[in-house]
Amino acid sequence: MNKQKRIAILTRLRDNNPTPTTELTFNSPFELLISVLLSAQATDISVNKATAKLYPVANTAEKMLELGLDEIKRYIKTIGLFNTKAKNIIKTCQILIDKYNGEVPENREALESLPGVGRKTANVVLNTAFGWPTIAVDTHIFRVCNRTNFAPGKNVIEVEQKLLTVVPTEFKVDCHHWFILHGRYTCIARKPRCGACIIEDLCEFNDKQHPTT
C-alpha cells in the first residue's frame, strides 16, 4: 500500500472518531494496568463489569494486597483464567510496592517485567495512560493491517514494527485505538462488514464481503 492511501485511511478514521480511547473503564494508570491484565482472552465488557465492583474497594497496589488473593478471585471469577490472573495481580502489586513506590512505572522494561504483563499490555499502558506513541498489536489490529495491506506482517511484532515505520507521527498515539475499534466492529474476523466500511475504497483486501440481498 502506498503512503498516500495510508494517510487517507488514517485521516478518515480520525475524522470519524477524533478522540478514540480504550473501551476499558479506568481512572488511573494502576486501574488501566489491572484492567489490561484482566482483559487477556476476555471481553472488555466482562472486565468492566468485574472492575466496577473491584476498584471501589481496591484501586491501589496497597489496597489490592490488603484485599488478598481469595477476595480478588471472588471479584474477578466471571473472567476467563481468573485464578492465574489473580495470582499475577498479587505478584504485580507486590513488585509495584517494593520497587516503584506503589506507582505504575512509565518504562517499558519495568512494565514488561511484571507478572502477566507482556509487550502488548506494556504498549497499551504506555500509550493510553502515559500518551506514548506506541502501537499495541492485538488480534484485531493484526487482522485489519493484513487484510487492508496497510501494514502486512507474519506476526504481531512484524506488524507493530511496520506500523511504527509507516504511520506518520501525528497519527501514532491514536492509531492503536482506531484499528482496534475498526477490527472489533467493522472488519470483524468471520465476515467483514465491507458494505458498511468507511475505508472500503482504500482497502486492498481481495475478498470483500457484501450482503447478497
In 3D, which of 90, 104, 99, 96 has the Cα closest to residue 30? 104
The C-alpha cell at 67 is 484485599
The answer to whether 93 is a known ligand-binding residue is no
Please say whether the beta carbons of 58 and 79 come within 8 A.
no
Q: Which of 120, 172, 191, 207 is catalytic?
A: 120
Question: How many CB atoms are closer than 10 A to CB 121?
Answer: 21
Is residue 120 annotated as a catalytic residue, yes or no?
A: yes
**Closest separation in Å from C-beta 184 to ligand SF4:** 12
Active site (annotated) includes residue 15: no
Grid cell in block for residue 63: 489496597
Q: Which is nearer to ligand SF4, 116 or 192 (CB)?
A: 192
Rounded Cα distance, 103 and 110, in Å = 11
Report whether 194 belongs to an annotated binding site.
Answer: yes
Closer CB to ligand SF4, 23 or 200, in the complex: 200
45 C-beta neighbours (distance < 10 Å), count: 10
**The three cell numbers locating residue 124:** 497499551
Please identify which residue in the block is written with the cell numbers 491484565.
37
Residue number with CB closer to ligand SF4 (135 or 194): 194
Residues that bind ligand SF4 (CB under 6 A): 147-148, 186-187, 192-194, 197, 199-200, 203, 205, 208
62: left (phi over 0), alpha (psi -120 to 50) or beta: alpha
- Least distance CB 194 / ligand SF4 (angstroms): 3
Minimum gap (Å) between residue 41 Cβ and ligand SF4: 23
Q: How far is the CB of 151 from ligand SF4 (least distance, A)?
A: 13
All cell numbers assigned to 157: 511484532
Catalytic residue among 44, 49, 138, 208: 138
- Known binding residues for [4Fe-4S] cluster are 187, 194, 197, 203
Known catalytic residues? 120, 138
- Known binding residues are 187, 194, 197, 203
